[in-house]
Amino acid sequence: MDTQDPKTDTLDPQDWRNTIPEEIRNDPVFEKYEGPGDAYKALVSAQKFLGREHLPVPKDENDKETYGMIYDRLGRPKTPDAYPMPTDLQIPKELSLDEGMLTEFKKTAHELGILPNQFAGVYKWYMNNVIGQYNKSNEATVTAHKEAETLLRKDWGAAYQQNTALAKKVFQSFADEKAFQEFEKGAGNNPVYLRLFAKIGEVLSEDQLTGKPGGLSMTPDEAQVELRNMEGDIKGPLYDASHPQHQEFVDKRSRLTKFITG
């Protein structure tokens, strides 16, 4: 007599799922596995995953409490001032930093859940840009100063040092110490202002002295005018070797020529 279960006769011996208890055999979860080995691996992975600590899911973008919990568990500092500052930035000593802005930056970063490594990355990017702009500005200032000095030296010749000092002295006599310091940093290197105050200095000197103050140098233009006048006087001491001032005029012509040629 054949006692074999008719249901067993209809099972496909090639289908590994037939080894699974009948009550769960047809669960769709098994359809994606080609054999028991794949199913066992998936079970182990699932157990490991279930054993982990999971982060809560915020209800919506306004669920600040849940977001705060997530940020803290990911490593956000407890307070804004606990963010570690990068130590590898080459910040010029002359570059003044706004401590108030840095405090606000830390506060905002903390509110947004920025992690320490992210904070350091953003801060370094920002500061490198600030430092770059500062260095460019300094380079532009140095270049402008050199160009201004070259232009004035060309125009003033041997009188450059004298006229520059005179211009600064005139400004200093009318300005307070703070204003003069600002003048030295900026306008004191501007050819327009140097010419202006040097001219004012000449006018003030002329009110007190007759002619050009003793020991002062001439500009090339001034020397050119005086040399032209002296050489134009054909009856003057320059051309009369017997004149007692002849040598004095010859020497003066040499000095004027030097003023003109620089």
Separation of alpha carbons 16 and 34, rounded Å = 8
**CB under 8 A, 24+ apart: contacts of 165-170:** 166/197, 166/198, 166/201, 166/202, 167/193, 167/194, 167/195, 167/196, 167/197, 167/198, 167/200, 167/201, 168/197, 169/201, 170/197, 170/198, 170/200, 170/201, 170/204
pLDDT averaged over 10-residue windows placed end to end, the chain, 262 residues: 50 71 81 80 71 70 84 92 93 89 95 95 96 92 85 88 85 76 73 85 58 56 83 85 86 82 72
* DSSP helix, strand, coil percent of the chain (3-state; round to 5): 70, 0, 30
Give the model's pLDDT for residue 231.
Answer: 86
Separation of alpha carbons 185 and 148, rounded Å = 14
Give the model's pLDDT for residue 215.
Answer: 47
Give the model's pLDDT for residue 135.
Answer: 93
Rounded to two decimals, the pTM is: 0.50
Give the model's pLDDT for residue 35.
Answer: 82
Give the model's pLDDT for residue 134.
Answer: 93
